[in-house]
Structure 1
Amino acid sequence: MLGCAAFLSAQIGGDATFRFLELSNSPRQLALGDPITLRDMDISSTLANPAMVRGEHGGQVMVNYEPYFDGINRGTAAYAYTINRQKALVFDVNYINYGTFEGADSLGNPTGSFTGSEVALGLASSHYFLRQNIHLGVRLRYALSNLESYSSSAILGDIGLYYNPISMPLRIALVYQHLGSQLTAYEDIFEPLPSNLSLGFSSALKHLPLRWHLTFHHLNKFPLYFDNPEDVSQTLGGGTNQRSAGLAKKLLRHASFGVEVFPESLFSIRLGYNTQRAAELRILELRNFSGLSFGVGMQLRRLRFQISHARYNIAGNRTFLGLTLEPRR
């Protein structure tokens, strides 16, 4: 059970605890490949990068729900409190429930049922830095995990930077997520947290209602790519050579792509692709479109509805639902 959190993000490996924090915070994020360059009136844009918090988000309430794999349920929620026209505080909750399990001792005798869940509470804000088009944001989080009779807590922080060149549609963002330490450990064995350094770029097309996003994630763990011992080539002499990846291929494994059509309209279409998920979860004999994600967003007066779907493998895929209520203007 203690390894359950590691299962949630097996693409990176079981090298940290509180891995549920790396899951997409909203349907829009999931559909677009988890970009850090979203910046608009939607409060969900603040969850991946605290530098995106603005005064215009004030009064918004967001609730998202996802029936995760194998009976696991998770959800996120956020509320933005207005400080002034330029500033706001965003409160967010990230929750996951692993369900009920049947326990047994070392001999296989039943010991009763038990549950597991994790939750994180966050507070974020931002302020322009040096110039109005450069914003620095910070999010603080307290996370708590209860797995059977074991528990752990942690304090974490996200630091985000956002830059928008004047008179240009280009956006550049840099985020370092989940920096911190466990306060209490499961069995007095302290583990690292799932830190993630990401660099993102985004721009809009001049003559089409489309905005693209390119994100390089987990740059602090470069390279994620590993040489497959089965990936060999035949030599003229009948031997084999191990194929090794170049720098470009290793960097590509850190990349995710997203495209949003009609991003500022009442109805938008989203498409994303995660190269790491595609490479690590694909099955050569079957076509499941692993790594692909898509979704839509629709605004009805003060209510914004979002839904997304992400392809993983034949064992299961993900569907994420979200509602956002905007204040009366």
Structure 2
Amino acid sequence: MKFLIAIAFLIPLYGWTQIGGQSGYQSLNITSNPRAAALGGTTVSLADGDVSQFFENPATLDSVRSQNLFFHFNPYFADVFVYSGVYTFNIGNVGNFASGINYVNYGSFELTDETGGQFGIFSAQDYTFLVGKAHQLGPFTLGANLKLTHSSIENYGSTAVLMDIGGVFRVNKNWTVGMVFKNIGARVSEYTPFSSPQIPFDIKLGTTFKPEYMPLRFTLTSTNLVDDNLSLEQESTGRSSKSIDKMWKRVNLGAEVLLSKNFQFLIGYSHKRKQELRLKETGGGAGFSYGLMVKVKRIEFRFSRATYHVAGGSSFISLRTDLNDFKKIL
């Protein structure tokens, strides 16, 4: 069984493909929690009670108790700000659900005509509402998110109804494998009759492993499994370097240093981000990320920093708590 899992994970690294195009709704690809940001940008196999992983793979909800609350803030770039939040709740015999929102505010812009004359100010924002549920079947867990996403620019808007379908397989207590089909669905309205933004469908596959006697946990996530055109750059002239580079652009690496249950340090690396955003003379740390988790009593705080280019990067900040813990002291 372990051999088959390894083969299933490696095969997609060499190219599930589809005909490419320019995608819309790119806010769906922005990382919505600091933990994933610190571990290379995305994770689909972490199922350890962290409700923020709901954004990455709905199947991870099986390990989350009801009344978990999560809030995330990300000053992305320039005047762009990203906010997200999740709350889990129980519905009788049906079980636990999660509801969440992801909101991206792009700020304000000048409204001008073709001659440069200013007519006012307009704004742009994207938001996505999510509802998710997971169901466990022995070592397997299946989960799904139903998403309503809307993108607006001035008086123009586009809406889509989407789903994420994911699964998690627990090989043992220290090894999990996850897979998710992201953004399955269709547009229900367009910006204009002449625009048809593509939905950024993706398939992600990953694994998380913790050596039994080491305070470390490693995560490897393969992304962009349906996109063969990962870069518009000229390909390397050497065939060996070209194939290796192409494979690594599909892989994010991350590690967590588990110093205690109340303090962790995280590091990650995205080869795709490094190759696309590095300068010709220097990488400037592009592609690398780091973060930490500190838990004080009933509040878990996370901070992460992802470097995108020489000029800097982006910070991710979150708070998470379990409201059930507060009931114990009331």
TM range (shorter): 0.7 to 0.9
Please give the per-residue CA displacement for 1:198-232, whole angstroms capped at 9, x wherever unaligned.
11011101221111000110101135256626x5x
Is structure 2 residue 35 aligned with structure 1 residue 28? yes
> What corresponds to 1:294 in structure 2?
290
Name the SS of the counterpart of 1:71 in structure 2. coil
In the TM superposition, 1:118-129 aligns within 5 A as 118-129=126-137
Name the amino acid aligned to 2:107: G
Name the amino acid aligned to 1:64: H
Question: Cα distance 1:251–1:260, how it changes in 2: closer, same or farther (>3 A)?
Answer: same
Distance 1:84 1:260 in 2: 36
> What corresponds to 1:91 in structure 2?
99
Please give the per-residue CA displacement for 1:25-69, whole angstroms capped at 9, x wherever unaligned.
101110012111111122112220001112643101111101111
Q: Quick one: percent identity of the two aligned structures?
A: 27
Distance 1:296 1:140 in 2: 30
**By how many angstroms is 1:83 displaced?**
4.0
Please give the per-residue CA displacement for 1:59-95, whole angstroms capped at 9, x wherever unaligned.
0111110111111111110000124799410101000
Please give the per-residue CA displacement for 1:111-151, whole angstroms capped at 9, x wherever unaligned.
2111111100000111124xx11011000100111101211
Distance 2:127 2:120 in 1: 24
Name the amino acid aligned to 1:52: T
Contact between 2:176 and 2:208, CA under 8 Å: does it hold in 1? yes
Q: Select which of 166, 182, 186 maps to 1:181.
A: 186
Name the SS of the counterpart of 1:289 in structure 2. coil
Contact between 2:159 and 2:187, CA under 8 Å: does it hold in 1? yes
In the TM superposition, 1:1-329 aligns within 5 A as 15-33=22-40, 34-54=42-62, 56-83=64-91, 87-129=95-137, 132-165=138-171, 167=172, 169-188=174-193, 189-225=195-231, 228=234, 231=236, 242-244=237-239, 245-262=241-258, 265-329=261-325
Distance 2:27 2:168 in 1: 25
Name the amino acid aligned to 1:146: S
Query: TM (normalized to structure 1)?
Result: 0.87
Contact between 1:55 and 1:86, CA under 8 Å: does it hold in 2? no
Question: Cα distance 1:14–1:148, how it changes in 2: closer, same or farther (>3 A)?
Answer: farther
Contact between 2:101 and 2:128, CA under 8 Å: does it hold in 1? yes
Contact between 1:126 and 1:137, CA under 8 Å: does it hold in 2? yes
Distance 2:71 2:258 in 1: 23
Name the amino acid aligned to 1:116: A
**By how many angstroms is 1:14 displaced?**
7.3
Name the amino acid aligned to 1:135: T
Please give the per-residue CA displacement for 1:155-200, whole angstroms capped at 9, x wherever unaligned.
01101011012x4522111111011111100012222111110110
Name the amino acid aligned to 1:303: I
Name the SS of the counterpart of 1:39 in structure 2. coil
Q: How many residues align?
A: 303
Contact between 1:224 and 1:253, CA under 8 Å: does it hold in 2? yes
Distance 1:84 1:31 in 2: 36
Q: More helix by proportion, 1 or 2?
A: 2
Name the SS of the counterpart of 1:51 in structure 2. helix
Query: TM (normalized to structure 2)?
Result: 0.87
Name the SS of the counterpart of 1:69 in structure 2. coil
Distance 1:191 1:286 in 2: 34
Name the SS of the counterpart of 1:95 in structure 2. strand
Contact between 2:267 and 2:291, CA under 8 Å: does it hold in 1? yes
**By how many angstroms is 1:264 displaced?**
6.7
RMSD over aligned CA atoms reads 2.0
Q: Can you give the 5+ residue segments of structure 2 that lack an aligned partner in the other structure?
A: 1-19, 326-330
Name the SS of the counterpart of 2:245 in structure 1. helix
**By how many angstroms is 1:243 displaced?**
3.2
Q: Can you give the 5+ residue segments of structure 1 that lack an aligned partner in the other structure?
A: 1-12, 232-241
Distance 1:56 1:162 in 2: 14
